[in-house]
Amino acid sequence: MRLQDIRITDAFWSSFTRLVRETVIPYQWEALNDRVPEAEPSHAIRNFRIAAGLEQGEFGGMVFQDSDVAKWLEAVGHSLAAHPDPELERIADGVIDLVVAAQHEDGYLNTYFTVKEPGRRWTNLTDCHELYCAGHMIEAAVAYYEATGKRKLLDAMCRFADHIDSVFGPENGKLRGYDGHQEIELALVKLYRVTGNERYLRLSRFFIEERGKKPNFFLQEFGRPGYERHWEGVKGKQPDLAYHQAHEPVREQDTAVGHAVRAVYMYTAMADLARELGDASLAEACRRLWRNVTRRQMYITGGIGSTHHGEAFTFDYDLPNDTVYAETCASIGLIFFANRMLRLEPKAEYADVMERALYNIVIGSMAADGKHYFYVNPLEVWPDACRRNPGKHHVKPVRQRWFGCACCPPNLARLIASLGGYIWTREEDALYAHLYIGNETAVSFGGRNVRVRMTSDLPWEGAASLSVETESPVRFRLALRLPAWMSGEACIRLNGDVVRGAPVRDGYLMIDREWRSGDTVDLSFPMEAEWMEAHPDVRADRGKVALVRGPLVYCFEEADNGPLIAALSVSPDAKPEVRMEDTPWGRIGLIRAEGWRDDPQPFGDELYRRARKAKRPVTLTAIPYYLWGNRGEGEMAVWIRSAD
């Protein structure tokens, strides 16, 4: 299904897609051009100008700064697919001219190595992100081509990929290496799909197969005369193979380790390859890793990465709420992974996780102004500690303007701009609805065009409906995800009549029929606010509960509940009450629940004293997690004490 065939019409999501289109993309364009006051300069466009010989100067920013331009271009491509915008397209064409001007004769493209370290191409794969940047530019090229039909960047990136293919591979004289940051692997699959050139699929497969084999490429690279680590903190240190998921062959990995973004980007490519190649053991590795990530190492918000040290996974059930990392990019990568697993085998659990990450981490990471972002998405915040306890310096209590390492905002932009691509997948004779986000989509079965219109009341009500338009009756299976969050049985009506006895497979209710214009399916999902508990081995959540309603996780903020959120408790028997209210962020479902606040006799100057029971009833107010941190600095918690 092509992105331009899907138009988001959802009441809830349109505000985000519009924000990305009207504010984020233009704002990030300013940022890439160092025109945002108060933000650290990006240098990214300027680097391309210098590499293209259009300007004199030094390379600026991170070694992977090129990727910000690529992600922005990809977001523009996605945006143009559904929303043509000649002025934006003109700017993008100019950027593409610039990118291609910075490309070398042989196809190579990387402004860092062109400007700062000429002659040292491919000498530090571990640290320097050359293939990572290549991957992002390939993704941009594919998106831009699909949206506009323009081949300039696509052709340039094919030349680059051909060049990479001439450098890397199993053949004698080629580098048997791979990048320190996975990304090229999934990009090459996209390039293969759009060009049909199997060379790219083979190259992606090579990178995946080679990774983690012995002798280890990173260790060999490290041992080469003249080799020096790029990053300050690791100078002279042997690469941490697990950080790069290169500690063992990927096919043998069963636990998510290392840098979370690298990991999920790799898993995404693995799922792509498993499908393209029909590779059963690679698919099985994907399932194992999926289970490990989502059933052992994922926050209830869909965040992943338990530590800021290496922005990494730690180990099963280690999910601290306050020192958490849960990088925005990692959840975006998890959504990619889920999306690819759905293409490999449609199972609702993939969509459940995808939805959780989207409705909580992804939209929560961006402010309503589209100009402030969370990089880290904590589940518990004490603003003083963020400032004054160095172990929490990475956690910010309010969204920040732009980052020196600005990976998250443009990643978010490209995801939201391509949101339509995550709602559906189709198989030969079936259309799968994974997300209930209002949209209109065009699809065809047996050569006959079908328009499907979906409306949705999510996330505030558990209701959605689909209607079909078609020139003539057309047979296909409509597979409707039954969300895991339902508090009871779903009620599905077809043209007003309750559907009974329809088969449910892997969490999808199947309606297999000859569809006619005007056919309507109404879905009603019981959606109550519910207290959730974590697996007992999650020490951090012992004795605590979290409030969830439908796809939304809720949180408790100081702005509503007063300071010292840690003093609040609830009984899981307390029935939370949902009420739609007008707020500064529009009409929002707030939740209130009866609970308690510790109410000790005032402490004097002492720090410890004999314990006394003392609590008073209070009404707690919870807001959707995605809205936290919008009222200045204050305490916040997702998990609160269960008084049972």
Residues catalogued as catalytic = 311, 407
Q: Is 530 in the site for its own copies (CB under 8 A)?
A: yes
Which listed range, 381-389, 405-413, 436-444, 455-463, lies at the site for its own copies (CB under 8 A)? 381-389
Which listed range, 305-313, 445-453, 508-516, 584-592, lies at the site for its own copies (CB under 8 A)? 305-313
Please state whether beta strands 639-642 and 568-570 pair in parallel, antiparallel, or not at all (unpaired): parallel
Among 54, 504, 564, 580, binds its own copies (CB under 8 A): 564
Among 106, 228, 427, 537, binds its own copies (CB under 8 A): 537
> Which residue type is seen at 18?
R
Q: What angle separates helix 260-277 from helix 328-344, to the nearest 10 degrees?
A: 10
Which listed range, 196-204, 260-268, 363-371, 542-550, lies at the site for its own copies (CB under 8 A)? 542-550
Among 252, 384, 427, 471, binds its own copies (CB under 8 A): 384
Whole-number Cα distances in Å, 265 to 147, 151, 186, 463, 507: 23, 26, 7, 33, 25
Q: How far is CA 141 from the centre of its chain?
A: 20
Q: How far apart are CA 579 and CA 88, in angstroms?
A: 40
Q: Convert residues 604-633 into a mask of x (bound to its own copies by CB under 8 A) and - (unbound).
A: -xxxxxxxxx-x------------------
Q: Provide the residue count of the chain.
A: 644
Q: Select 226 or 390, whichever has its Cβ closest to its own copies.
A: 390
Among 252, 429, 573, 581, binds its own copies (CB under 8 A): 573
Q: DSSP letter for 29, please.
A: H
User: What three-state secondary structure class fits 48?
Assistant: helix
Q: How far apart are CA 504 and CA 510, in angstroms?
A: 6
Q: Is 567 in the site for its own copies (CB under 8 A)?
A: yes
Q: Is 173 in the site for its own copies (CB under 8 A)?
A: no
Q: How far is CA 604 from the centre of its chain?
A: 48
Q: Is 307 in the site for its own copies (CB under 8 A)?
A: yes
Q: How far is the CB of 261 from its own copies (least distance, A)?
A: 17
Residues in contact with 101: Cβ distance below 8 Å, sequence separation at least 6, in sequence order? 48, 52, 53, 54
Q: Is 388 in the site for its own copies (CB under 8 A)?
A: yes
Q: How far is the CB of 136 from its own copies (least distance, A)?
A: 28
Which listed range, 24-32, 164-172, 509-517, 539-547, lies at the site for its own copies (CB under 8 A)? 539-547
Q: Convert residues 309-348 into a mask of x (bound to its own copies by CB under 8 A) and - (unbound).
A: xx-x-xx--x-x-xx-------------------------
CB 614 within 8 A of CB 598: yes
Q: How far is the CB of 605 from its own copies (least distance, A)?
A: 5
Among 298, 304, 366, 415, binds its own copies (CB under 8 A): 298
Q: What are the residues facing 517 on neighbouring strands?
A: none
CB 447 within 8 A of CB 428: no
Q: Convert residues 579-598 into a mask of x (bound to its own copies by CB under 8 A) and - (unbound).
A: -------------------x
Among 93, 155, 279, 533, binds its own copies (CB under 8 A): 533
The 3 state secondary structure assigned to 326-391 is: CEHHHHHHHHHHHHHHHHHCCCHHHHHHHHHHHHHHHHHCECCCCCCECCECCCEECHHHHHHCHH
Q: How far apart are CA 67 and CA 63, in angstroms?
A: 9
Contacts with its own copies: how many residues (CB under 8 A)? 63
Among 70, 256, 362, 385, binds its own copies (CB under 8 A): 385
DSSP states along 466-503: EEEEESS-EEEEEEEE--TT-SS--EEEETTEEP-S--
CB 123 within 8 A of CB 112: no
Q: How far is the CB of 486 from its own copies (least distance, A)?
A: 11
Among 174, 291, 516, 575, binds its own copies (CB under 8 A): 291
Q: How far is the CB of 413 from its own copies (least distance, A)?
A: 30
Count of C-beta atoms within a 10 Å radius of residue 243: 22
Q: Is 90 in the site for its own copies (CB under 8 A)?
A: no
Among 569, 576, 628, 638, binds its own copies (CB under 8 A): 569
Q: How far is the CB of 393 from its own copies (least distance, A)?
A: 8
Q: Where does 10-63 have alpha helices with state H?
A: 11-19, 25-32, 44-51
Q: Select 390 or 501, whichever has its Cβ closest to its own copies.
A: 390
User: What three-state secondary structure class fits 399?
Assistant: coil
> How large is the C-alpha radius of gyration of the chain?
25
Among 170, 404, 446, 543, binds its own copies (CB under 8 A): 543
Q: Is 503 in the site for its own copies (CB under 8 A)?
A: no
Half-sphere exposure of 79 (CA within 13 A, CB side): 29
Q: Is 641 in the site for its own copies (CB under 8 A)?
A: yes
Among 166, 389, 449, 619, binds its own copies (CB under 8 A): 389
Q: Is 300 in the site for its own copies (CB under 8 A)?
A: yes
Q: How far is the CB of 141 from its own copies (least distance, A)?
A: 37
Q: Is 539 in the site for its own copies (CB under 8 A)?
A: yes
Q: How far is the CB of 564 from its own copies (least distance, A)?
A: 6
Count of C-beta atoms within a 10 Å radius of residue 150: 17
Q: Select 226 or 233, whichever has its Cβ closest to its own copies.
A: 233
CB 75 within 8 A of CB 25: yes
Q: How far is the CB of 594 from its own copies (least distance, A)?
A: 15
Q: Is 545 in the site for its own copies (CB under 8 A)?
A: yes
Q: Select 433 or 570, whichever has its Cβ closest to its own copies.
A: 570
Whole-number Cα distances in Å, 76 to 61, 147, 203, 558: 22, 9, 27, 38
Among 173, 196, 390, 447, binds its own copies (CB under 8 A): 390
Q: Select 149 or 390, whichever has its Cβ closest to its own copies.
A: 390
Task: Please state whether 598 falls in left (phi above 0), alpha (psi between -120 and 50) or beta.
Answer: beta
DSSP states along 79-124: HHHHS--HHHHHHHHHHHHHHHHTS-TTS---HIIIIISTT-TTS-
Q: How far is the CB of 324 from its own copies (least distance, A)?
A: 10
Among 538, 578, 591, 620, binds its own copies (CB under 8 A): 538
> Interface with its own copies by CB under 8 A: which residues?
291, 294-296, 298, 300, 306-310, 312, 314-315, 318, 320, 322-323, 382, 384-385, 388-391, 530-539, 542-543, 545-546, 564, 566-567, 569, 571-573, 598, 600, 603, 605-613, 615, 641-644
